[in-house]
């Protein structure tokens, strides 16, 4: 008889269980529970993410088919569709949010020294949001359009390792720029964002925190040029200017100087205008920095394709947030395992192998070593060629 652990158990051993218990105690998640603890709930939902389960009934059927193995997987309570639905609806989603942030801190430490596409020592973040469409009749709390519901995932992505450092879940009516008020900016770091975040009073708060931003100017951008720096037009840089805002209203929100860089993309025949508060980087590096912002779009596309965050097992706000945070925890867990085991395969390939081997009693390193063929995170988007 093989007395070894299943791959699922070995994978869960990478989780800091004492810290999980602290999160549960913080919100009294297991108060007066006799069976099916928060840990049981997390394991069932993690199993659903790893094996691409479509519904609560699907989860119940698959786990009950391996009833004699559940104890060894760490699931002590009896798995029931109603029990899991109730747990998702009433147990505080902040338990899993706090635990996901603990995993994020661990992953960021592991990926801290990874090479970045540009020769920069500073941390580089990409800020953006993605919309998850919902049926308004099933999710009436998720206000978005008159006949359409949605939630938004506002994400601050650390580009070293593509680790989401901040995720804020709101209903669809919350505009992206409002999230700038909830962020604590890191001095010396770069924040890459698109024109949706072009709000000068909020950007000035980032500037006063000694952080740097790179964004795009709107088509009607009124400014007063103070002076220009010489540029090499063969690189695509048209001009590199120091400007101040001409309109007195936005100038009151951002009274300091800005750097305005115009870039011409020969392949797309487009002119792009960048704004930044960094005056030392070469202009072409600033253009390449903004190109790196597209990694957050690829991250959104990847998690929507490979995690269960578009179809939900419950319709309450608590159930939806619980499922999203556990999905993020699974994503970060796989990133941690990849780094600690020094695997070369992509996260997608690792997830594919895990989805069909969770109940096997094989050393996890041996099973995942099959993921040695590096694959792209997803198909490159057409916008990536803007800066080639």
Q: Provide the CATH number for the domain around residue 239.
A: 3.30.1370
Whether 285 is in a domain gets the answer yes
Domain assignment of residue 240, given as a range: 194-290
Amino acid 388: pLDDT: 33
Residue 305 counted as domain residue? no
Residue 20 lies in a domain: no
**What's residue 3's pLDDT?**
55
pLDDT of residue 76: 84
Show the CA angle centred on residue 255, arms to residues 249 and 258, nearest 5°: 110
Token pair of 285 as six digits: 């590096």
Residue 250 lies in a domain: yes
Strands 143-145 and 148-158: antiparallel
C-alpha 108/C-alpha 295 separation (Å) is: 16
Please give the average pLDDT of every successive group of 10 residues along the chain, which has 388 residues.
Answer: 76 94 94 88 94 93 87 84 94 96 95 81 94 94 92 95 93 93 94 94 96 92 91 91 92 94 84 94 92 92 91 95 97 94 87 90 86 44 36
Distance CA 169, CA 320 (A): 10
Rg (CA), the chain: 23
Is residue 232 a part of any domain in this protein?
yes
Q: What pTM was computed for the model?
A: 0.89
Nearest to 204 by CA among 273, 277, 278, 274: 277
Closest by alpha carbon to 166, among 201, 209, 215, 123? Answer: 123
**Token pair of 60 as six digits:** 């119940």
Question: In Å, what is the CA distance from 57 to each residue of 44, 48, 52?
Answer: 12, 11, 13
- DSSP letter at 15 equals S
State the total domains in the chain. Answer: 1
Beta bridge partners of 128: 155
Tell me whether residue 334 is in a domain.
Answer: no
Whether 220 is in a domain gets the answer: yes
Residue 261: φ, ψ to 5°: -120, 125
pLDDT at 72: 82
pLDDT number for residue 241: 94
CB 271 within 8 A of CB 262: yes
Burial (Cβ within 10 Å: 0-12, 13-18, ≥19) of residue 388: exposed
């Amino acid at each position: 008889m093989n007395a070894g652990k299943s791959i699922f158990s070995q994978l869960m051993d990478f989780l800091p269980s004492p810290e999980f218990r602290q999160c549960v105690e913080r919100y009294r998640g297991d108060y007066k529970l006799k069976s099916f603890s928060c840990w049981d709930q997390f394991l069932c939902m993690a199993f659903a993410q790893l094996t691409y389960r479509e519904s609560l009934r699907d989860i119940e059927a698959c786990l009950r088919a391996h009833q004699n193995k559940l104890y060894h997987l760490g699931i002590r309570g009896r798995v029931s569709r109603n029990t899991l639905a109730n747990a998702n609806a009433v147990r505080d989603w902040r338990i899993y949010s706090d635990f996901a942030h603990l995993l994020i801190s661990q992953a960021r430490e592991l990926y801290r020294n990874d090479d970045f596409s540009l020769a920069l020592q500073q941390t580089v973040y990409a800020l953006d949001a993605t919309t998850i469409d919902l049926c308004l009749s099933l999710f009436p709390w998720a206000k978005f359009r008159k006949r359409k519901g949605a939630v938004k995932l506002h994400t601050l992505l650390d580009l070293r390792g593509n680790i989401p450092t901040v995720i804020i879940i709101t209903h669809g009516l919350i505009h992206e720029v409002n999230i700038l008020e909830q962020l604590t900016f890191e001095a010396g770091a770069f924040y890459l964002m698109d024109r949706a975040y072009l709000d000068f009073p909020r950007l000035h708060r980032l500037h006063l925190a000694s952080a740097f931003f790179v964004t795009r100017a709107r088509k009607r951008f009124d400014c007063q040029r103070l002076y220009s720096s010489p540029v090499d037009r063969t690189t695509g840089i048209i001009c590199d200017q120091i400007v101040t805002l001409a309109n007195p209203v936005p100038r009151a929100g951002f009274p300091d100087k800005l750097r305005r860089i115009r870039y011409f993309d020969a392949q797309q025949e487009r002119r792009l205008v960048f704004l930044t508060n960094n005056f030392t980087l070469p202009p072409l590096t600033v253009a390449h920095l903004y190109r790196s912002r597209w990694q957050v779009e690829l991250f959104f596309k990847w998690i929507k394709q490979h995690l269960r965050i578009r179809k939900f097992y419950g319709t309450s706000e608590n159930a939806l947030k619980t499922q999203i945070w556990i999905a993020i925890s699974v994503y970060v867990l796989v990133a941690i395992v990849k780094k600690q085991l020094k695997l070369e395969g992509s996260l997608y390939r690792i997830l594919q192998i895990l989805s069909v081997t969770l109940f096997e009693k094989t050393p996890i390193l041996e099973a995942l070593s099959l993921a040695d063929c590096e694959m792209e995170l997803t198909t490159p988007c057409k916008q990536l060629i803007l800066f080639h």
